[in-house]
Amino acid sequence: MDGGRTAGHGTDRPATVWDHVLRVVSVGTVVVLLLVAFNASVSRDVAVRPAEERGESGALPLSDVLDGTGVSQDGTVGSADLDGAGNSLSARTLAAAGWRPGQEVVLLDTPLELPAYGPGRPDHVTADGQSVALSAAPARWDSLTFLATGTRTDGTGADVRGEGRVVYADGTTQDFPLSVPDWAAGPAGDAALSLPYANSATGFGQGAIGSVRLYARSVPLDQGREVDHVVLPTVADDDASLHVFSLGGRPATQAWTGTWARAVSGYASVGPWEDQTLRMTVRTTTGGHKARLRFDNTFAARPVTLGAVSVSLRGQGAATHGAAVPLTFDGAPGAVIPAGGRLVTDPVDLLLPPQTELLVSVHLPERVTAAPIHYASVDTNYTSVPGSGDQTLDRTGEPFTGLVEQWPFLTGVEVTDGPGAVVTYGDSITDGLRSTRDGHARWPDVLSARLHRSQDLPNLGVLNLGVAGNRITSDGYPGEGVSTYASGVSMLHRAQRDVFAQNGVEALVVFAGINDLRWGATPDVVVAGLGRLALTAEEHGVRVFVATLAPCAGGSRCTPEVEEARQRVNAHLRSEAADPESVFTGVWDFDAVLRDPALPERLRPEFDSGDHLHPNDAGLRAVAESVDLYELVGG
């Protein structure tokens, strides 16, 4: 391909995860970073072990093996104990987040049933090798999702790690490691839910214990086999406990493919919006005859009510082309998204051609002062005035007199029978900052248009999961609370939610790392982070391509030291391109495309948007046109 080389995989022995880890860290001493980021890496190796040899029988539903009470009412000191010191989750804060006993919450695209917690009722199981039968087993799933948290008695706050097993109906098994952060010391960046306080053995309410967290962790499965039951992880560390509150299977929804997506980059003050309608612009990449939409309440502390939702083809401005189509949630016109949760609309028959602009309208009946947003919208979105009511079916666009500078709540549009999707994962260069407003000139947009024009390749969905200001290894937005920072949690923290919970993903393109270097990270840390992403992609059966870092001399924080670090990262990536044991499917040399031949530490003048950091439309087009489409689709 132009400007890049492919790394092959011609090995005699399948490399293990730790083989790859050791290779990645060979450029520096960053083992600690890798271990912290390891989360739920899973070996997909399946061993044939008849059930009678394992002695694993009598699997019970999770509700029958719950053995601990970790949720208490404020004021009922001593009624629950999650961490061995008499501390517990507050039922009051869970209710304020919209989480209630027995309720279903969708996390990592998996429906999870919360335990029916209450006074004296067990609500979690301390994982120790129990055999658990899932409600729909035997069934085929894309992955398992655990709602869990860890506790420690040694005060270190380190992650809790265990080893579990999936038992398939055909007698084969799959071992998996599971790593869950400590409920009080773990990062908010990849938490499913952060709560403002916990109840303690001696008190309750704000200030008794600081914020605590629950985590969702995904375990990839072999979709070709039916799951019979799951053996919960065993934790070898006597000072650590892993608490499982819910467990579910993510359906193997191969019929659905993403055609548009955006990542939540922060939780920010908005509006306020009250009894008014937002109308947001999206553009399809691949097409389909049936569609559904995803809405997320990521990083939130409170639930939000969607009163009505519609989708339509776009006419001029905020006007529709034809009638808007109302969407439902389990047959109802509206629904509530709990904090941290997701809603998916019911499918609707709707012809969505590729490269077509849509309008998604959302009525917010209740007052909203803060919302999860994708910040760097260079498409124009609209809002009606407060008190104007449900305008989701309006065709004229006349009620939409205000502008919205972000995408709130809306995170995805999916279609049926698509050929699969590729995720472009990066920072502001991928997000399209400084590209032409409403011009669809981001490099993923141009890449999608190239696929659409190709006569002999599948027209993959291209999902832009870039976040302006994003870094691979550290959080810009802290992961909880209302903040003016909307540069996202780290790519490692958001990968499970933003990449591997997308439907139809077959390939991942990672173009990131310059922000890490600009804010003081070492080349070794960046290389290790890129390797970690590649390993996680491999475990999920996703091919991963990595791009060299573009030059930025003359731009903000792009010092000579940053340039030296960039060269070291790029040298390592180019060496990966020639390595048959590379963790990457391919390495694309975007640096070679964008750099000035006379001053290689700078962007080519004709590609410079003016800030010496972000390429202009011509530079973004050059990046997209350098991609070998046959390599991308696996041809």
Predicted confidence at residue 229, as pLDDT, reads 95
Neighbours of 217 (CB within 10 A): 25
Q: What string of DSSP letters covers 50-99?
A: -HHHHT----B-HHHH--B--EE-TT-TTS--SSSSS-EEEHHHHHHTT-
Alpha helices in 75-219 (DSSP H): 91-96
**pLDDT digit string, tens, across residues 331-373:** 999 999 999 999 999 999 999 999 999 999 999 999 999 999 9
Is 493 within 8 Å of 187 (Cβ atoms)? yes
**Residue 443, H or E segment:** helix 443-453
∠ Cα 156 162 165 (to 5°): 170
Is 177 within 8 Å of 42 (Cβ atoms)? yes
- DSSP annotation of 26: G
- What does the alpha-carbon distance between residue 182 and residue 159 come to, in Å, rounded to a whole number? 6
Is 137 within 8 Å of 372 (Cβ atoms)? no
Is 86 within 8 Å of 135 (Cβ atoms)? no
Model confidence, pTM:
0.91
- DSSP annotation of 548: P
Calculate Rg over the CA atoms of the chain: 24
Helices (H) and strands (E) in the chain, counts: 14, 37
**Residue 100, H or E segment:** none
Closest CA to 253 of 195, 198, 282, 294: 294
Query: 107: which residues sit within 8 A by CB, 6+ positions away?
Result: 145, 147, 192, 216, 340, 341, 342
CA atoms within 13 A on the CB side of 319: 7
Q: Which tokens belong to 243? A: 């608490």
Predicted confidence at residue 236, as pLDDT, reads 96
Q: Which tokens belong to 228? A: 């019979």
Is 595 within 8 Å of 602 (Cβ atoms)? yes
Cβ burial of 73 (10 Å; 0-12, 13-18, 19+) is middle
- What does the alpha-carbon distance between residue 500 and residue 541 come to, in Å, rounded to a whole number? 10
DSSP reduced 3-state for 606: helix
**Residue 521, H or E segment:** none
DSSP reduced 3-state for 383: strand
Predicted confidence at residue 630, as pLDDT, reads 96
Residues in the chain predicted with pLDDT less than 70, given as ranges, are 1-57, 136-138, 204-208, 253-254, 635
**Backbone angles phi and psi of 591, in degrees to 5:** -60, -45
Instruction: Using the structure block, give the residue that is written with the tokens 């199981």.
Output: 125
Predicted confidence at residue 251, as pLDDT, reads 83
